[in-house]
Amino acid sequence: MGSRQESDTEKFPAPIYTESVLAQNFADAQKYFLRPLLLINYAHALMLSEQGIISEDEAREILRGLDSLDRQKIAEAKYDGTIEDLYFFVEQLLEQAIGEEIAGKLRIARSRNDIDVTMYRMRLREEILKLTGGLNALRVTLTGLARDHLQTVMPAHTHTQPAQPTTLAHYLSAVIEFLSRDIARLRAAFATVNRSPLGACAITTTGFPINRERTAELLGFEGLAENSYGAIASADYLTESVAALATAMINLGRFVQDLLLWATQEFSFIRLTDGYVQCSSIMPQKRNPVALEHARVLASRALGQALAAMTAVHNTPFGDIVDVEDDLQPLVFSAFADAQRTIGLLAGAISSIEIDKEQLREKASNSFLTMTELADTLAREERLSFKAAHRLVAETVKRMPNAHANPALILDTLQNAAKEILGRNLRTPREKLEAALSPMNFVEVRAVIGGPAPETVERFLSGQEKIAAGDKQWWEEKTTLLAKFPQRIEAEIMSDK
């Protein structure tokens, strides 16, 4: 029987596989993983030599070969299908530089499996630090703004309706507090991510006497992803990170939505400076708050990509699987990039935002927002149950002609309602009842922990500043750690030469 010619689809890689997978993954690896891959090669060679697995001469030759590689040329190389991925491409270049026999020693006690996960973690920890730094900077900006508005009274809303007076500082403190939680979640994710899987090899480690702690130290990790099966199979380092990102973007998206509402002419609470608005091509009067709109959609994009990453991992086998590898990783980094854009844009817009204090005060003085305190005052002074006081004040509001009734009319109506409902006049001095209708009084008497009273909010902000200082110190320590570990590798290389 005669032989037939082998078709393109009967040898690896098939053209469509090259086009759809390998070429794209090669380009992504060039963009994200070239530096981590080379650093892993250096660290592994040093460890093999220190453990006596390869000779010092062999290690020196490998290190020399790695030094000789043209990083720029590797980064710009076009995928031609002759090799599978960046790992094999770099290996091929190393073989050309020092020979296949010596270069092949670098393959001892490792696999693309543990190399890949190590690269992913090295890149992801950098993204977490960038995002944490950005959130901390935004928190500092908001804290300064809050300190400027401790007594800027404004309406708080519940169910999108005016509810009670508060202050802008009190509102911003809520944002500052969730930013602190977002940063805490990212710090926890960093601790999970910054564990080295290197040495897990394919999934069961190796019979060679390697030192996993040594490569972890050389690569700036703070411990091991210890169980070798889990080091390869686990994806929660990734899902924990994108979950923290997703939560931060949901938080910020809700804040941005409020800012956009406040920027409308109907509200006119805030005004963006000219650098953050655009005019219409047809309507010359327009000042469109596009910076906030871009921040909103970028936060949504980051959230969508984070959810897509978690969806891709969901219901995959607990083992070595491509679903959590080359095709997925760029999506994670894109999510972090959009999140960083969101935070930078928002911080810039807020840093020069203009607050209309008078408009905020006027809105806080209308719509009967102080009625809770009026009912509280009746409960205290008249010895009524709060239910009875609530009923009395509710009846008073029903009898008002509109939401802009003046205090004198409100109190006259209240007195009339009291005669009908209680069967008597109120004994509380009128000045006390008038004070209960003041938005600033409403704020000042709510000095309970977490309340809007200026001194209470000021104490809260001081506490948050201490938290921010601690987070900044943590960020500086981790940034220094990631900046210095390549220097440690370089020092070890120089000592071996």
Residues 261-319 have pLDDT tens digits of: 999 999 999 999 999 998 888 988 889 999 999 999 999 999 999 999 999 999 999 99
Contacts of 23 (CB under 8 A, 6+ apart): 79, 81
Domain 113-358: homologous superfamily in CATH: Fumarase/aspartase (Central domain) (1.20.200.10)
Residue 479 in 3-state DSSP? helix
Contacts of 95 (CB under 8 A, 6+ apart): 103, 104
Count of all residues that appear for the chain in the document: 497
Q: Which tokens is 420 given?
A: 């009908």
Determine the angle formed by the axes of helices 56-68 and 454-496, rounding to 10 degrees. Answer: 120
pLDDT at 497: 62
Neighbours of 111 (CB within 10 A): 18
Q: Are 330 and 345 in contact (CB under 8 A)?
A: no
DSSP-assigned beta bridge partners for residue 154: 166
Residues 48-74 have pLDDT tens digits of: 999 999 999 999 999 999 999 999 999
- Our CA dihedral for 51, 54, 60, 62, rounded to 10 degrees, sits at -120
Q: Are 496 and 63 in contact (CB under 8 A)?
A: yes
Domain boundaries, the chain: 8-32+54-107, 113-358, 370-437
pLDDT at 495: 79
Residue 6, by phi and psi: left (phi above 0), alpha (psi -120 to 50) or beta?
Answer: beta
User: What letter represents residue 5's amino acid?
Assistant: Q
**Separation of alpha carbons 339 and 287, rounded Å:** 25
Q: Which tokens is 158 given?
A: 């519940």
Residues 154-193 have pLDDT tens digits of: 999 999 999 999 999 999 999 999 999 999 999 999 999 9
Task: Give CA separation, 329 vs 25, 81, 225, 287, in Å.
Answer: 10, 21, 19, 39
Residues 419-455 have pLDDT tens digits of: 999 999 999 999 999 999 999 999 999 999 999 999 9
How would you class 207 by CB atoms within 10 Å of its CB: exposed for 0-12, middle for 13-18, buried for 19 or more? exposed
Q: Which tokens is 476 given?
A: 């500086």
